[in-house]
Chain A
Amino acid sequence: MGWQRKILRVDLTKGTAASEPLNMEWANLYLGERGLATKYLWENMDPKVDPMAPDNVLIFATGPLTGTMASTSGRYAVVTKGPLTGAIACSNSGGKFGAELKFAGYDLLVIHGRSPKPVYLHILDDQVEFLPAGEIWGTSVWHTEEWLKAHQQNPLLKVAAIGVAGERGVRFACIINDLHRAAGRSGVGAVMGSKNLKAIAVHGTVGVKVNDPKRFMQVVKETKAKLWDNDGRRELTELGTNAMIDSMQEFGGLPTRNFQAVQFDGYDKINPEAMMEAKPNGHRNLITNKACFGCTIACGRIAHIDKDHFTIVNRKEYWHASGGLEYETAFAFGPMVGVDDIDALTFAGYMMNEQGMDPISFGGTLAAAMELYEMGVITEKETDGVPLNFGNAEALTIMAEKTGKYEGFGQTLGLGSQRMCEKYGHPELSMSVKGQEFAGYDSRALQGMGLGYATSNRGACHLKQDTYDQDMEDQTGNGKAQPCKKSQDRIAVIDSTGLCLFTAGGWGMEGFRKQIDAACEGEWTRERLLEIGERIWNLERQFNLAAGFTAKDDTLPERLLKVPAPSGTAKGRVNELDKMLPEYYKLRGWTAKGVPTKKTLHRLGLA
């Protein structure tokens, strides 16, 4: 147990929905969530298909520990081919939706085809319906959730939905669940939109069982206590993920004005202290912290915007509280675009959640547009009369709203930085890998992170490897390939459990192992789990190679490889990818061209 041993397969073209047994052979080889969904994707579609075509398959996947009493058990993953990248997309989200899907009795929800008309999926345990979404098509995520609960007269529904951005194919549209949690990256929301699927509303009453309940409860009691005592946990609870902005500023790894700088003067106007501090008029940005399902960390921030701020002074509909700044939103709407107005940042965050967009990619794309504007490549003629200079808080908030609603210059921003920069003849200004924009870590200062960005199977991503400690200790590329590879495999396992990566510091692999071992049948050793991680990584790689990617795509923009960091502890350094990448390929058991050898595939059971 742990698994429900059942999946729901939906074909939107045919209008059919049927449950089928979970392939337990695959579950034992890929665990759940990210890993298992990758296997199902691989077996169910041709990696060459256009991500926006009906043949792309969209998978919502829970893990064996999703919906259990293990701390942070609210995670689920959305796996599909990403329209931002053309690579495999794997977007992980929290909130309460994932656990609810599991409570309804399903490990995975596999969606094929395209509905002829907008629909939403209504799931009450084994009762599954497609219902017309005409009334909510063209409306926001927030309105959609409210409408669904009212329309179904069921306040217990948990909702994952897209906004206008997803409907209109914004390349970095995301899927929002529970109003402000996101399966954020690679444009998974645009895939949902291309399928004419507005929302999934689910209520489950089946519940989740584990294999050895007595041992599981004992283990969970220990892991929760251990997590509670962990300093990293304490910082996340008290300050949220935005605590990172202070360390990146100090270190000189805070990408600023499209990576033209690595430190930002206004960082202390948007850091956790600024969020907590009352302004002269008494307004305080932060209200409280908030947990996802089952989570004993509660790193989420609930904030509100100052009613006197220009963004909402005449817009009462935004006077309510909602999800506040996380580090990545603070970075992408702050230093990356040169803005230090905390209310403007918070408003832009509201726009992302309301219409379903990835703030990292939006910020990265806007930053590239600002650089194009300052170079004179684009003018106010293109930008609907809005001066797009760095530091313009009004431009940030206007463009966030326009992109979410797919209006004016927002349509161009909705292409993502790579397509937009190519359109204007400056592809070098897109700070991305495989078309996906960087998170808030400059890889001239964090070398291993650069290798992770270059090799991440979903394009630039800070969450698929963990070399922070090594990067902070030593700013060369020496010895980074090994920890990068190992952490990638480790995280692939964690992402497949149904639990949150933010517990890793408190638990180590042993914490995950013990919980899996008590919840699932069979014997779960550290070696077995790490092999699963490596298998997942290699299968994702196989998907990308089959989709047409080559070693040439495992690279970083010139700005990081040739232009030295202008300040900070890494002043004068560039990223040493050329040194790290061959070593990395070797450690992976791949050829010099980045292709897994037959021996490697055979060892992992992939050949």
Chain B
Amino acid sequence: MHKSLLIDPEKCTSCLQCEMACSFEHEGVFNPAKSRIKVFEFEHGRTAIPYTCTQCDEAWCMHACPVEAITINLATGAKEVDEDVCVGCKVCTIACPFGTINYNQDTGKVIKCDLCGGDPECAKACPTGAITYVDANWTGYDRMRESALRAHPSP
């Protein structure tokens, strides 16, 4: 069973613990500039939205890669970049409709979310539950439940 990152912007305070956790896991350094997840702020901080790769099934990045550097991790469903194979052509960064795969000038390779091998550090670091890691079949469960309650409020 695969799991997905579920993001609830309502709960995000824009503390960037996720960005630090991500960069620490992948680069061994606290460095939001190298994070695979980014938090975007709008209107003086009224809204803060964490955003990262959704791990498309028919992944544009994977199909676009001319050297097959992007492969599916069968255990997690993540599309992972093999740095030994990637040639830094950046075609995947153009192909991705969401902008969630990006080039890293320091290594000459691309970087994207790999779900940390099935135990995403961003979700563990998030203090407010804005980022959780849930059953991929039921990312809508909580909202569905809330809608159900709204439709049938208890007396």
Contacts and interface: CB of A to CB of B under 8 A. Distances in A.
A213 interface: yes
Contacts of B33: 103, 156, 203-205, 207
B46 interface: yes
29 contacts: A67-B30, A69-B17, A69-B20, A69-B21, A69-B24, A71-B127, A180-B45, A204-B33, A207-B23, A207-B29, A207-B33, A207-B34, A208-B29, A213-B24, A217-B24, A228-B127, A287-B46, A290-B13, A290-B14, A292-B15, A296-B15, A302-B45, A302-B46, A320-B44, A320-B46, A321-B43, A321-B44, A322-B45, A323-B45
A203 B32 CA distance: 10
A288 B8 CA distance: 14
Contacts of B37: none
B44 A291 contact: no
A213 B13 contact: no
Interface string A199-227: 00001111111100100010000001000
Contacts of A322: 44-45
A362 interface: no
Interface of A: 67-69, 71, 96, 99, 103, 156, 179-180, 203-210, 213, 217, 224, 228, 287-296, 298, 300, 302, 304, 320-323
B20 A294 contact: yes
Give the 3 A-B CB pairs with smallest separation, nearest first.
A207-B31, A291-B15, A321-B46
A69 B125 contact: yes
Nearest to A142: B44
Interface string B116-155: 0000000001011000000000000000000000000000
A499 B130 CA distance: 23
Interface centre among B20, B31, B34 (most CB of A within 10 A): B20
B16 interface: yes
B27 interface: yes
Nearest to B106: A205
A296 B17 contact: yes
Contact of B13 (A67, A203, A204, A291): A291
A177 B127 CA distance: 24
B27 A293 contact: no
A204 B34 CA distance: 10
Interface of B: 13-17, 20-21, 23-24, 27-34, 43-46, 48, 106, 125, 127-128
Nearest to A95: B45
Given A69-B17, A320-B44, 12 more contacts: A103-B32, A204-B33, A207-B29, A208-B29, A290-B13, A294-B15, A294-B17, A296-B15, A300-B45, A302-B45, A302-B46, A323-B45
Contacts of B45: 179-180, 290, 300, 302, 321-323
Given A204-B33, A207-B23, A289 B46 contact: no
Contacts of A213: 24, 28
A302 B31 CA distance: 26
B21 A288 contact: no
B115 to A, nearest CB: 19
A67 B19 CA distance: 11
Nearest to A204: B33
Contact of B14 (A68, A71, A208, A291): A291
Given A103-B31, A205-B33, A208-B31, A295 B15 contact: yes
B34 A296 contact: no
A210 B27 CA distance: 13
A296 B21 CA distance: 14
Contact of B44 (A179, A206, A289): A179
Nearest to B20: A69
B43 A320 contact: yes
B20 to A, nearest CB: 5
